[in-house]
């Protein structure tokens, strides 16, 4: 009988030899681990940025990143796009020929080595009548982690999800937590899914660049398995976003605008 070969999804590198120590004994293992590549984006033949990322949904990552950085305002701004995983690059042609590389770069706190070109780029204050319950947030977080395919295979991967009511619409997974939001935004632009008045879930820490991307997507509620930074809390209050942390098990913490959780 032939041994069954497990087919791993994109973004996972199989067959990494390792040694596990447990109960006083060593064991040799072959484990799957998350893949990491330096992925370079070119705009009109100009090198824009190199992103450390997981090679899955790369087209969504590129589109979401360009939108979040204000380089495009609509997917129609892209004349052509070639994404090549083998060469680890994306070649984008915009409809306009006057594109110039941004002068200001901000190194973000993203674990994938994120770059933002304008950290002050924010949306208007969010007005939303959306209301959710703590139990709904906790249930959705459990659903997201159950469907976190790359994480459940290898660990070491951040997961985010866009939620409408009780339904998970889009999931993004990557070694960089900010990349997960770009992948969600890009997929929504491709599939023509509005992000307005939705809920955003994430497994990673919510920092200011994560909050900024949430605001750009006009999302009124973001919940994390872990913490938020002080600047993220400040921006959440300023922009009218309900920011939730430590949403796991049977408890959560609300940092801003608790009225949306039927407080």
List 53, 60, 84, 111, catalytic entry: 111
Burial 77-109 (b: 16+ CB within 10 A, else e): bbeeeebeeeebbbbbbbeeeebeeeeeeeebe
Task: Measure CA of the first residue to CA of the last residue in the chain; give whole Å.
Answer: 59
Cα–Cα distance for residue pair 103/214, rounded to 1 Å: 24
Cα–Cα distance for residue pair 201/224, rounded to 1 Å: 6
Helices (H), 162-250: 177-191, 208-216, 230-239
* Active-site residue, 111 included: yes
143 phi/psi in degrees, rounded to 5: -60, -45
Tokens 């976190």, located at residue: 148
Cα–Cα distance for residue pair 122/214, rounded to 1 Å: 10
Residue spans of beta strands (DSSP E) within 62-151: 78-84, 89-94, 106-107, 115-116
18 phi/psi in degrees, rounded to 5: -150, 175
Tokens (6 digits) for 52 = 């450390």
What are the catalytic residues? 111
């Amino acid at each position: 009988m032939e041994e069954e070969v497990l087919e791993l999804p994109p973004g996972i590198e199989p067959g990494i030899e390792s040694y596990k120590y447990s109960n006083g004994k060593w064991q040799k293992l072959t484990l799957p681990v998350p893949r990491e590549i330096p992925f370079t984006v070119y705009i009109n033949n100009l090198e824009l940025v190199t992103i450390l990322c997981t090679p899955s949904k790369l087209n969504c990552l590129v589109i979401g990143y360009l939108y979040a950085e204000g380089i495009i305002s609509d997917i129609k701004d892209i004349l052509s796009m070639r994404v090549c995983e083998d060469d680890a690059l994306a070649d984008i042609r915009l409809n306009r020929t006057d594109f110039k590389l941004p002068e200001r770069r901000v190194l973000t706190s993203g674990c994938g080595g994120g770059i933002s070109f304008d950290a002050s780029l924010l949306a208007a204050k969010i007005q939303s009548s959306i209301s959710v319950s703590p139990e709904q947030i906790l249930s959705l977080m459990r659903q997201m982690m159950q469907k976190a395919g790359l994480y459940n295979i290898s660990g070491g991967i951040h997961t985010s999800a866009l939620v409408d009511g009780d339904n998970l619409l889009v999931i993004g997974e990557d070694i960089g937590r900010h990349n997960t939001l770009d992948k969600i935004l890009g997929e929504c632009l491709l599939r023509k899914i509005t992000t307005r008045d939705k809920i955003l879930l994430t497994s990673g820490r919510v920092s200011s660049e994560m909050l900024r991307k949430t605001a750009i997507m006009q999302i009124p509620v973001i919940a994390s398995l872990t913490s938020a930074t002080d600047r993220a809390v400040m921006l959440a209050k300023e922009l009218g976003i309900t920011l939730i942390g430590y949403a796991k098990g049977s408890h959560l913490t609300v940092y801003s605008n608790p009225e949306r959780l039927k407080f």
